[in-house]
Structure 1
Amino acid sequence: MLENEEYNEEEFNEPEGASDLYEHFRIVVDKGQSLLRIDKFLMNRLENFSRNRIQNSIDAGNVLVNEKPVKASYKVKPLDEISIVMPHPPRDTEVYPEDLPIEIVYEDNDLLIVNKAAGMVVHPGYGNYTGTLVNALVYHFQQLPTLPGNDGRPGLVHRIDKDTSGLLLISKNEWAMTHLARQFFDHSITRKYLALVWGDLTEDGTITGYIGRSAKDRRVQDMFDTEEKGKWSVTHYRILERLNYVTLIECELETGRTHQIRAHMKSIGHPLFNDETYGGNKILKGTVFGKYKQFVENCFELLPRQALHAKTLGFIHPTKKEYIHFDTELPSDFKAALDKWRKYAAQREE
């Protein structure tokens, strides 16, 4: 949904009688928009649309500006009216089982805990219909439940980002699914993450605010001061180690919004280390020396993703009615980068 532009939600849906093979969009460019190639403009505005898909639609004459077809080089101007007709991407509603390696931390008749590796997508979606954790779960367990609105995500009551590692809770039957989902809704699940962030944090804190998709880039979450633009979110963070130009923190989620920790830390000026989406893949703190630059680049190579790990998970077991708690070690890539920063900090103190 395109906040901060003239937008009607019905215009994202197909008009009555339209072919099921197409998606229809209409965007009125806001008054403050600077000149920008239309292919780049649409990449920022349309979620989960590849550059090739946008380019093909432009080439086919399916992207109109002020009712006329344009080329990819056309520069979008303020108050332009853009209408787009795109073919739906092919998608199977069935989730295919795949024999993929997954690390199971705990399992009983009702649930299992998986320690997800960084780089693995959790559930099938546009561009990722295979190779996901759900594909692996369907292979290993054959029958997993779903809840209304959770189609294509059997057993999942929450999720973590592709490049975030750590603990994920899976239900194995409808009873467990319902009871665990309620605990997530009530915010009674304990979830703690370890994050390495840019900057020298000096005290613990809590970040709150309404979080929602950015109007400038649909892949990014922004913070807003009104509930009309986002959902309420709360993250508590505690300092574990101060390492000069980065800080290791523990984040405890009170709510669970998309990219919550990543967007929250960016909002207070401390993006996650090597988080490309939120600007943490640049040298944001430190010296101007070439040796330091090379050191940071080496850390990026050791940890080629955002420095975020879902370390602990606690909840009431749906059948046993007892509180159970799980903890996992940092993965090797995170630990290697952290150890390198520890050595760097120790050398500076000498």
Structure 2
Amino acid sequence: MSQRTDPPPNTTDPAGSTPEGPFPVIATAEDAGLRLDRFLAGAIGAVSRSRVKALIEGGHVTRDGAPVDNPSEAVRPGARYLVAPPPAAPAVPEAQAIPLTILFEDRHLIVLDKPAGLVVHPAPGNQDGTLVNALLAHAGEELTGIGGERRPGIVHRLDKDTSGVMVVAKTERAHQILSEAFASRDLERSYLALAWGVPAVPRGEVEASVGRHPMDRKRMAVVTRGGKTALTRYQTERAWGTGCSLLRCRLATGRTHQIRVHLSHIGHPLVGDPVYLRRLPAAARAVPQPARDALLAFPRQALHAETLGFQHPVTGETLRFSAPLPPDMAALITLLDGNPE
């Protein structure tokens, strides 16, 4: 059996959170071949398997001092594992006065234009300075409670470095109805993406399942098994020779990184994408200077949630909001047009 090298620091956990740790565990010959997350959860005893899985994927587990990130890998006999949970986040995020661009607000919901660089929800590595912190400061007294807590109801998320329109619920009722609308795709959502190259078909769709990358658990990928069905419809809005294009993308499903994964899959990765653009795109050679250097140096994925339309969860009114391209993406288009400022 596995061996704990010291007793658990705290096995009493009435709040249901992860005990502090760290938890060192040595695997024996009897443990060889077991699935890692199941093995560690059983060895520790005070942490659920799902939580151990999340800790592995989050980079908080090592084997003989080296990080492991695959919860399903086979246990190695004699290996020394260390599970080191990060410090617990505060139960209630702190209200912080962060400027927001509000497009619409009433007592039920807020629609805003999220800037690139703003994380939506506190998490390890981003405990504050998030959209939730900003909303608590902006509308804290008007929040009637979601799940028993006075907090904003995050209905959907945009990646940290994706800009654009978001809706957030102020009440439990609004949160439930909006969440159902997003789950059933009973709304309008369109994105603008600046991509390398130009699709051969100006208007088309990409239908390919998306799941965890088999070799890199921090990335998503088009997969043949174990993924979720995903469908992205695109339309070429503008093209600059064969080097770059502005695509309007509409989601029929809402998978993690869906647009980024699908466009990369068909050979048109997003400009600036730090995760799915792994090498110099061949299309870059077709872009004249100085636009080429600016595109290659762009520090984030060039993706903007331009439009969001939905029915108001209480009044039933049809609402539709749009946000213009942020200045950094607009500047790239100016360069592509041959009009450097």
- Shared fold by TM > 0.5? yes
**Local SS of the residue matching 1:140:** helix
Matches within 5 A, 1:15-54: 15=42, 18-19=45-46, 46-49=56-59
- Partner in structure 2 of residue 262 of structure 1: 260
- Tell me the equivalent position of 2:18: none
Structure 1 segment 285-300 matched on structure 2, within 5 A: 285-287=283-285, 292=288, 295-300=291-296
Deviations 1:3-22 (A, max 9, x none): xxx87485176227635599
Aligned to 2:41: 14
RMSD: 3.3
The alpha-carbon deviation at position 138 of structure 1 amounts to: 1.2
Match of 2:86 in 1: 89
- Cα distance in 1, alignment partners of residues 247 and 46 from structure 2: 51
Match of residue 322 from structure 1? 317
Give the counterpart letter for 2:107 in structure 1. N
The aligned residue for residue 112 of structure 1 is 110
Q: CA deviation at 1:216?
A: 1.1
C-alpha distance in 2 between matches for 1:310 and 1:166:
4
Hey, what does 1:230 align to over in structure 2? Answer: 227
Q: 1:127 aligns with which of 125, 128, 131?
A: 125
Query: What's 2:213 paired with?
Result: 214
Matched, 1:242 2:239: yes
Per the TM alignment, residue 84 of structure 1 is displaced from its structure 2 partner at its CA by: 2.7
AA of the residue aligned to 1:225: T
Shift of 1:276: 1.3
Identity %: 33
- 2:146 matched to which residue of 1? 146
Q: Is the 8 A contact 1:274 1:304 kept in 2?
A: yes
Normalised TM-score (structure 2): 0.77
Counterpart position of 1:273: 271
- Kept in 2, the 8 Å contact 1:95–1:152? The answer is no
Is residue 136–residue 151 contact of structure 2 (8 Å, CA) maintained in 1?
no
**Cα shift at 1:85:** 2.1
Q: CA deviation at 1:215?
A: 2.1
Counterpart for residue 307 of structure 2: 312
> Is the 1:315–1:325 contact (alpha carbons within 8 Å) kept by the matching residues of 2?
yes
Mapped partners of 2:49, 2:85: distance in 1: 5
For residues 148-187 of structure 1, what are the structure 2 equivalents within 5 Å? 154-187=152-185
In the TM superposition, residue 145 of structure 1 has moved relative to its aligned partner by 3.9
How many angstroms apart in 2 are the aligned matches of 1:248 and 1:140? 34
Question: Residues 167, 24 of structure 1: CA spacing in aligned structure 2 closer, same or farther, 3 A cutoff?
Answer: closer
3-state SS in 2 of match to 1:278: coil
Match of 2:28 in 1: none
CA distance in 2, matches of 1:273, 1:280: 11
CA separation in 2, counterparts of 1:135 and 1:310?
Answer: 21
What displacement does 1:295 show? 4.0
The answer to whether the 8 Å contact 1:118/1:164 transfers is yes
Any unmatched runs of 5+ in structure 2? 1-32, 68-72
Q: Any conservation in 2 of the 1:190–1:313 contact (CA below 8 Å)?
A: yes
Quick one: distance in 1 between partners of 2:252 and 2:229?
10
Q: Is the 8 A contact 2:113 2:163 kept in 1?
A: yes
Match of 2:101 in 1: 103
Amino acid at match of 2:182: F
Change (3 A) 1:292 1:144: farther
Q: 1:240: Cα distance to partner?
A: 0.3
Whole-Å separation in 1 of the counterparts to 2:249 and 2:277: 19
> Where in structure 1 do 4 or more consecutive aligned residues deviate above 6 Å?
21-26
- 1:221/1:293 Cα in 2 relative to 1: closer, same or farther (>3 Å)? farther
**In structure 1, distance between residues paired with 2:220 and 2:192:** 20
**Shift in alpha-carbon separation, 1:155–1:21, aligned structure 2, 3 A:** closer
Cross-structure match for 2:186: 188
1:121 is paired with a residue whose SS is coil
For 1:3, the equivalent position in structure 2 comes to none
Give SS of 1:184's match.
helix
| 1:294 CA drift (Å) | 5.9
Give how far 1:80 is off.
7.5
Partner SS, residue 277 of structure 1? coil
Deviation at 1:286, TM superposition (A): 3.6
- Cα offset, 1:343, TM superposition: 1.7
Q: Residue 198 of structure 1 aligns with which residue?
A: 196
Shift, 1:280, TM fit: 6.2
